[in-house]
Amino acid sequence: MQIRAAVLDRMETPRPYAQTRPISVETVSLDEPGPQEVRVRMTAAGLCHSDLSVINGDRPRPMPMALGHEAAGIVDAVGPGVLDLKRGDTVALIFVPICGHCNPCVEGRPALCETGAAANGAGTLVGGERRLHRPDGSTLNHQLGVSCFAEYAVVNRGSLVKIDPDLSPDIAAVFGCAVLTGVGAALNAAGIRLGQSVAVFGMGGVGLSAVMGAKAAGAGKIIAIDTVAAKREMALACGATHVFDAADPELVNQLKAAANGGVDVAIEAVGAAAVLEIAYQATRRGGMTVTCGLPNPKQIFSIPAVSLVAEERTLKGSYLGSAVPARDIPRYIELYKAGRLPVDKLITHRLTLDQINEGFDRLAAGEAVRQVILF
Ligand SMILES: [Zn+2]
Ligand SMILES: [Zn+2]
């Protein structure tokens, strides 16, 4: 079928994107779903910082690529072998296609699925297929098995989680990346316990979700750090008890003073090695640092090695919220419906597909948290 999709031809195009227009919205052809594949009609898709990292080259991916990895939609058709989804089901799309059979999957850590990671790195669906073609016959790469800045997408069954059909599409869309990653970092990776002090660095969609997750877990002090005053205000609305300016040279001392010598848990959601160092320094003896940002692969991080032993500090990475998506997304949706995870507060803008370049300018300038394209 013919669909409209947002395509990135090359990385590192300079801003402003409203003028340089690195993303073109094109009519392309979408193959029928193959075995274990599903065609989804997109209802809403969120603009994420990880998309921006592909556009600006921080996270290199094969080009040209049909962008987008955070969305919700309706099942339109299922390919051979898909027995547990049917046309009309509401689904959230997740950015790791989970195979269910590799070592991490069978160990209960599907966010690390080896099959999914290999396909994502290659820009294909699981099985090596590329389902999008330009009129000249050339083939487009998929972004993280999703490519949801498009009217429809064909994805692997493992990229989908069936969800409550009653959520509005813009809300449903953010569960697949921002909420799963941020809330999961707080609940699964950090395992925040009642009354613990938590500092979260970077108030984008993931960081604000981590703040909400910390609050839902019953954290005591929840300290949010960002350079942008408006985002610190949003953090307070999402459950932060204290906010600090990331640009303050006294930041570490302020954090230690606010949390009786250091926080129990620091969550780094910026994706910058320098911020990760500060997050680590802000923890108390015995504290835990969880990082869920994605820095440029060239960045190097250094800590005093002895502190891991002599101070029993823990440093953990968390990908996709260390989630089991089919378990966690329905739980987080229930928390949202109960008013305990107000993810609607993440959404600052609603766009059309044709406004996508302007949307990424806004994200790069720190003027937006979650912008959602409505189809
Ligand atoms: Zn994302
Ligand atoms: Zn797997």
- Closest listed residue to residue 42, CA positions, set 69, 10, 9, 64: 69
Q: Which ligand is nearest to the CA of 99?
A: 2
Question: Do β-strands 222-226 and 242-245 pair in parallel, antiparallel, or remain unpaired?
Answer: parallel
Q: Which ligand is nearest to the CA of 118?
A: 2
Positions of E strands within 191-240: 198-201, 222-226
Distance between Cα 181 and ligand 1 center (Å)? 8
Q: Which ligand is nearest to the CA of 158?
A: 2
Question: Under DSSP, is residue 229 helix (H, G, I), strand (E, B) or coil?
Answer: helix
How is residue 336 written in tokens? 């949202």
Distance between Cα 40 and ligand 1 center (Å)? 19
**Burial grade of 137 (CB within 10 A; 0-12, 13-18, 19 or more):** exposed
Task: State how far the Cα of 261 lies from the Cα of 278, in Å rounded to an integer.
Answer: 14
Q: Which helix (H) or strand (E) holds 307?
A: helix 306-310
Distance between Cα 259 and ligand 1 center (Å)? 30
Task: State how far the Cα of 365 lies from the Cα of 323, in Å rounded to an integer.
Answer: 30
> CA angle, corner 193, sides to 188 and 195, nearest 5?
145
Distance between Cα 289 and ligand 1 center (Å)? 21
Distance between Cα 178 and ligand 1 center (Å)? 6
- In angstroms, what CA-CA distances link 38 with 97, 245, 248? 12, 45, 49
Q: Given the structure tokens 């340089």, which residue do they identify?
A: 20
What is the three-state SS of 234-296?
HHHHCCCCEEEECCCCCHHHHHHHHCCCCEEEEEECCCCHHHHHHHHHCEEEEEEEEECCCCC
Strand partners, 201: 225, 268
Please report the pLDDT score of residue 113 as a whole number.
98
Which domains are assigned to the chain?
2-173+342-374 (3.90.180.10), 182-319 (3.40.50.720)
Q: Which ligand is nearest to the CA of 146?
A: 1
Distance between Cα 36 and ligand 2 center (Å)? 14
Residue type, 2: Q
Distance between Cα 139 and ligand 1 center (Å)? 23
Given a contact cutoff of 8 angstroms between Cβ atoms, the answer to whether 133 and 140 are in contact is yes
Whether the CA torsion 32, 355, 183, 341 is positive or negative: it is: negative
Please report the pLDDT score of residue 217 as a whole number.
98
Q: What is the pLDDT along the chain (375 residues), one digit of tens a residue?
A: 999 999 999 999 999 999 999 999 999 999 999 999 999 999 999 999 999 999 999 889 999 999 999 999 999 999 999 999 999 999 999 999 999 999 999 999 999 999 999 999 999 999 899 999 999 999 999 999 999 999 999 999 999 999 999 999 999 999 999 999 999 999 999 999 999 999 999 999 999 999 999 999 999 999 999 999 999 999 999 999 999 999 999 999 999 999 999 999 999 999 999 999 999 999 999 999 999 998 888 999 999 999 999 999 999 999 999 999 999 999 999 999 999 999 999 999 999 999 999 999 999 999 999 999 999
Q: Which ligand is nearest to the CA of 321?
A: 1
Q: Which ligand is nearest to the CA of 113?
A: 2
Distance between Cα 363 and ligand 1 center (Å)? 12
How is residue 228 written in tokens? 């942008």
Distance between Cα 305 and ligand 1 center (Å)? 31
Distance between Cα 161 and ligand 2 center (Å)? 15
Given a contact cutoff of 8 angstroms between Cβ atoms, the answer to whether 162 and 91 are in contact is yes
Task: State how far the Cα of 6 lies from the Cα of 65, in Å rounded to an integer.
Answer: 9
Write phi, then psi, for 17 (nearest 5 degrees): -65, -25
